[in-house]
Structure formats: C-alpha cells, structure tokens
Amino acid sequence: MLATLVAAQSIESPQPEVLGAYTNAQAQIALMLSNVAYCGKDAYMSHTYSGVLSGFKPTYVIYSGIVDDTEGLVGILPSDASIYISFRGSSNIQNWITNLSTSKTAYTTFPDCNCQVH
C-alpha cells in the first residue's frame, strides 16, 4: 500500500466550522509527510523538513517493534498551527498479515457511539 494516514488538528482555538475543513495546502502537507513516513523510523527526528514542511518539528516516533512493524511520526507544523500524525503504509509481508486480521474491538473513547474499530 502506498498511502499513509495523516491527521491534522489545529493546536489553536479554531471556530468549529473551520475545524477539519479540507484545504489544498493541508493535502500538500499530508502528501509530503506521507513521503517522509517511508524514510524509516531512524530518520524522522533528523530529517531536513523543507518546502511546505519548513519548520515542521517531529515530536514522537511511532514504532511497534517487529511484531507488526508499524512506523510513523507525530509533529507540529507552526505555519498552520497543526499537529500531524503520519503512518507508513504496508511495506512488507508482516504488515499485510496484520492488515488481514479482521477482529474488531470496542472503541471506548466515545462509549455513546457503540462503535468498533479494526
């Protein structure tokens, strides 16, 4: 899989109607962070962030270990006052085995939704 999930949430106090609004600028940022996610967990903190990612500050490396080999990063981009979370997509057999696991679990963060997640 060549895609990654990138989520952005404003770190300021935006108006509710603005929160989560799609912009071409955020799509470009998401694309560039998706590319970075494939550089490998050891490169995230020292990577040179330029262009639309200029000023990006990685704050946390996500790594699950060899069990399912999940990798990603969390960081702040001051230019749009957002926190970004980017995961590398599937890149090996173990990733695909994990993807094929279809068991669901309760999503308890919002119990009133009665949701389950994969």
In SS3 terms, 26-47 reads as HHHHHHHHHHHHCCCCCCCCCC
Domains in the chain, please, with CATH?
A: 6-117 (3.40.50.1820)
Task: Give the global pTM.
Answer: 0.68
Confidence band for 1, pLDDT divided at 50, 70 and 90: very low
Report whether pLDDT(22) > 80.
no
Return the higher-pLDDT residue of 69 and 17. Answer: 69
Cα–Cα distance between 54 and 78 in angstroms, integer? 9
Cα–Cα distance between 79 and 53 in angstroms, integer? 9
Give the chain's length: 118
Report whether pLDDT(12) > 90.
no
Over pLDDT 90: what percentage of the chain? 39
Of the CA atoms within 13 Å of residue 77, those in its CB half-sphere come to: 26
> What is the predicted pLDDT for the residue at 20?
60
